[in-house]
Chain A
Amino acid sequence: MPKLILPAALRRHLPETVSEMDVEGPTVADALDELMLAHPQLRPVLFEGSELKNTVRVFVNEEDIRSLHGTGTPIQGNDEVLLLPPIAGG
């Protein structure tokens, strides 16, 4: 089953133990829908209207979905979907 990996910057909006989530797919958009259904409080963090914010990148395994098929990118098997927000601490 594909897995959604949630970074620390998003985890602060989630219960403490949630750092990943199994998703069905079959596309990245479906996986994000599943995430919104389970944790609706993430919607304003990740979305602007119905569009994913430009300050969040999504990778399927190693690849940026912008270089694949955007949120229409298919996911299956052991695919890992990584959400990557910018962080600035140092």
Chain B
Amino acid sequence: MTSPALDPTRYARHLSLPGIGLEGQERLRASSVLIVGLGGLGCPASLYLAAAGIGRLGLADFDTIDTSNLQRQVLYTERDVGKRKIDRAAKALHVRNRELTLDRIPEGLTPDNAVDLIRGYDLVLDGTDNFATRYLINDAAALAGVPVVSASLFQFECQVAVFAPSAGGPCYRCLFPDMPAPGEVPNCAEAGVFGALCGVAGSMQAMEAIKWITGAGEPLLGFLLTVDALSHRHHRVRVGRDPGCALCGADPTITEIRAERYRFVCDPFPGEKPEIPPREARALADALFVDVREPWEWDLVRLPDAVHLPLGEVARRKNELPRDRPLVVYCHAGIRSLRAVEGLRAAGFSRAVSLQGGIDRWAVELDQNLPRY
């Protein structure tokens, strides 16, 4: 079956572009892109790819829409809160381009499905929000021989790059061989993310995907671009292929996807945890509550009589804490505080415990007057 001719009016501004033209537009229609993560990056990237006339988009995300997403995830409206991202995204993209084929992958990318799923696409866009999935995408895409257009954000900064060992370029592990330890780099929820910068970085991903598919210009292969939105300082640095890379080097040790390599997202502290539920914590006599969240969170809401010691300062300022009292360490959800307790116990604070579920669970169970965020 031959597909109907391209609508020349619809794509007129591409057809007249040197480097794209009719041939490039036909290539876009014949191509498929898997978008992993339909958040701050996946929203703008998928919008531009749909508008550009890409043939097929895979949408992989297990998440539902939260009110805090609306600040940057421009595919969703206030009425979408609580609904699955893939469904709302598919609907929003379909009304923009009815010729677009959309695949929904509600379980998201997992170690079990990664290689087979990625193999079914020409390109992968990494728009995830955690290291475990970033390394999973990198490893599975390299094994499947599919290029990755990667973007990541931290506050007012982004990094964008194309990783494609199959095209002679580097992979993410050539740049950063090992995943940082849990808690070493704060996540978006803790650190914040500049919404409009998601638009820049996600659009750049769409742009690199379109360039890659049509062959227009120079892809960002072998380079990484950093953008600091506050100063408008842009850096393009060279990322070489590492001959010693565990994934794409001469003597690779990563030759298949093994789930344990990508685990930290689910449970950064396997085994029994030094933590205490809110009700028991409140009943603890003589306990000192230690808040390890960032200053903006402390300003928003805090527990009465708590002391403030942001996680990044715990190691340096721990001796300000009493050693003769139980310490109930808390954060927003109970992950950062576990990390702090781990460090404090190693430093001899044997009575330090983490507040299970953080201040958020405290607000739900014990004090409905506390604002939640």
Contact = CB atoms under 8 A, between A and B. Distances in A.
A82 interface: yes
A55 B238 contact: no
Given A8-B156, A8-B157, A82-B235, A41 B185 contact: no
B153 A62 contact: no
Given A12-B191, A44-B315, A87-B157, A63 B237 contact: yes
B124 to A, nearest CB: 13
Contacts of B239: 64
A7 B157 contact: yes
B101 interface: no
Main secondary structure of the interface of B (DSSP, over half): mixed
Nearest to A44: B315
Contacts of B224: 84
A70 B40 CA distance: 36
A47 to B, nearest CB: 13
Interface in A44-90: 44, 54-55, 57, 59, 62-64, 66-67, 80, 82, 84-90
Main secondary structure of the interface of A (DSSP, over half): mixed
Nearest to A87: B154
Contact of A88 (B42, B130, B240, B316): B130
26 contacts: A9-B154, A9-B157, A9-B185, A12-B312, A44-B315, A55-B178, A57-B176, A59-B235, A59-B237, A63-B238, A66-B242, A67-B240, A86-B131, A86-B152, A86-B176, A87-B152, A87-B154, A87-B157, A88-B131, A89-B187, A89-B188, A90-B40, A90-B126, A90-B128, A90-B129, A90-B152
Interface of A: 5, 7-9, 12-13, 19, 41, 44, 54-55, 57, 59, 62-64, 66-67, 80, 82, 84-90
Given A63-B237, A86-B176, A88-B154, 20 more contacts: A5-B235, A8-B157, A9-B154, A54-B178, A62-B236, A62-B237, A64-B240, A67-B238, A67-B240, A84-B237, A86-B180, A86-B185, A87-B152, A87-B157, A88-B128, A88-B129, A90-B42, A90-B128, A90-B188, A90-B198
